[in-house]
Amino acid sequence: EAGVVQSPRYKIIEKKQPVAFWCNPISGHNTLYWYLQNLGQGPELLIRYENEEAVDDSQLPKDRFSAERLKGVDSTLKIQPAELGDSAVYLCASSLPRAGVGTGELFFGEGSRLTVL
Amino acid sequence: DAKTTQPTSMDCAEGRAANLPCNHSTISGNEYVYWYRQIHSQGPQYIIHGLKNNETNEMASLIITEDRKSSTLILPHATLRDTAVYYCIVRVALSRYGGSQGNLIFGKGTKLSVKP
């Protein structure tokens, strides 16, 4: 079974340019997450989708960041315009919440490493 | 802020057991303890989770104290490939009665170095 697929793997842009990241979750996983990870830090949640609905976007900097998950499958995360401080790894994860006790393991992609010059 | 406290780093000899501690003194009754690890340049990987009973799977064992204020992840025979950052996370899990699942909030984790 294919895991979470992200692209591009690496992206280098100049500041003020736009950038977009794409995520294809594991088939059938209706919950999708975008995390940001700075060097030496743990991942930080940006947004969480349940199907096509963003159920938690409280940590998404909405002035420059946007995300969408049309049809409740693939998702894109966009930054416009990018700033130097946006250099980080952007991780996508998906899960299949099941009613029960202690479920909802997250499966992560390998991430998209962004460098803003 | 993360609800857990972990040592910044630990070393372990190859073939020996690695015991990674985690404090979660403010854990709530409906929160589970989850462990993930992140190998360099990869996304985090689920290891194990538990509520109050000790748990074991093919990767590790999880020991939770009776008062649930701390736990220990045990890798019984560490290998060089176990070198990674290990994250201890407390999280509200789905209830069979409904409600929403808590988000996975990461701290800085423990960098485990397994040495030959």
pLDDT tens-digit map of B28-78? 888 889 999 999 999 999 999 998 989 999 999 999 999 999 999 999 999
Report the pLDDT value the prediction gives residue A30, as an integer from 0 to 100.
87
Q: Between chains, do B103 and A56 touch, taking CB under 8 Å as contact?
A: yes
Name which of A11-15, B15-19, B105-109 the model is least confident about.
B105-109
- What is the 3-state secondary structure of chain B? CCCCECCCEEEEECCCCEEEEEECCCCCCCEEEEEEEECCCCCCEEEEEECCCCEECCCCEEEECCCCCEEEEEECCCCHHHCEEEEEEEEECCECCECCCCCCCCCCCEEEEEEC
Tell me the per-residue pLDDT of B86-115, one tens digit each, with 9 for 90 and over: 999 998 765 555 555 678 889 899 999 999
Cβ <8 Å between A106 and B94: no
Which pLDDT does position A102 carry in this prediction?
A: 42
Contact A105 B46 (CB under 8 A): yes
> Has residue A101 got a pLDDT over 50?
no
Q: Which residues of B touch A (CB under 8 A)?
A: 2, 32, 36, 41-46, 49-51, 85, 87, 93-96, 98, 100-101, 103-109
